Structure 1
C-alpha cells in the first residue's frame, strides 16, 4: 500500500497555491477552479489544496531548515516554532541512523500548520 494523496483545507485557493508554489519551488501540476482544487506533486504523492477538505498537519522535508525558515520569515510567513532537534536516530527505523531530526513549524496563509523536517549528521 502506498500513500497517494494528502488534502489540505484552503479558503483562498489562489493565495494558498502561491504559498505552496513558493515553499515547494514548483507550480501546481493541475488547478481546477471551480470547484476549488490545486494539486502539487511531492515525489509521487499528491498534495491537494481543497476548499472543502479538513485541515491536515503535513511535514515536508527540506534541504536546509535554517535557510528555509529565514526565507519564509522574510516573506512574512508566521513562524510557530524555530528549528530544533526533535530526536536522534540511533537506527534506520524513522530516519537515517546517526542523524538528528530537526523540525520547525510555520503557518500557511490559510492558518494551517506545516512542519519542516531536515536530517543532519548527529552531534
Structure 2
C-alpha cells in the first residue's frame, strides 16, 4: 500500500511572474530557488512552491504557512504591506487544549494565503 508523505511541491498560477516573484520573495521573504521563463520556484521549508504565468485556474488551493508566533508574523507582514482579511483568530481548539490560529491574506492575484500556528 502506498503511503503518501509530505507535500513536495505546490503549483499556483499567477498573472504576472515578476510581480509574483517580487511578492513571494521580496515581501513574504521566501527563498527564491530559480526562475525559468514564466516559471518561478521558491523553498517553503522543504516544500517547493511552483509559480507559473497562467490564468487558467479560477480557484487555486490556499497555501498555509506555519509560523511559530502568529501575532509576530502578522505584525511583521503587515509592516511589509500585506493586507490581511482580519487579525489572527482561533479556528479550532483540539480536545488536548491545542489551539489552531490562522490569518488569511491575498496575493497580488487575489488568491488566498494564510499563516497558521498551533498554540497551547
TM-score grouping bracket, smaller chain normalisation: 0.7 to 0.9
Q: C-alpha separation between the residues in 1 aligned to 2:46 and 2:115?
A: 19
1:62-81 equivalence runs, <5 A:
62-81=67-86
What CA distance in whole angstroms lies between the structure 1 residues aligned with 2:97 and 2:105?
Answer: 26
Which residue is 1:108 aligned to? 107
Give how far 1:46 is off: 1.2
Distance apart, 1:100 and its partner CA: 0.8
Aligned length: 112
Instruction: Describe the superposition over 1:73-116 as per-residue Cα deviations: whole angstroms up to 9, x where unpaired.
Output: 222222112101111122xxxxxx53211000011122111011
Runs of 4+ aligned residues of structure 1 deviating over 4 Å after TM superposition are none
Matched, 1:12 2:16: yes
Looking at structure 2, the residues matched to 103 and 6 of structure 1 have their Cα atoms a distance apart, in angstroms, of 20
Summarize the alignment of residues 1-123 of structure 1 with structure 2, pairs less than 5 Å apart. 1-2=4-5, 3-21=7-25, 22-23=27-28, 25-33=29-37, 36-52=38-54, 54=57, 55-90=60-95, 97-121=96-120
* Secondary structure of residue in 1 paired with 2:19: helix
CA RMSD, aligned part only? 1.8
Q: Gaps spanning 5+ residues in structure 2: where?
A: none
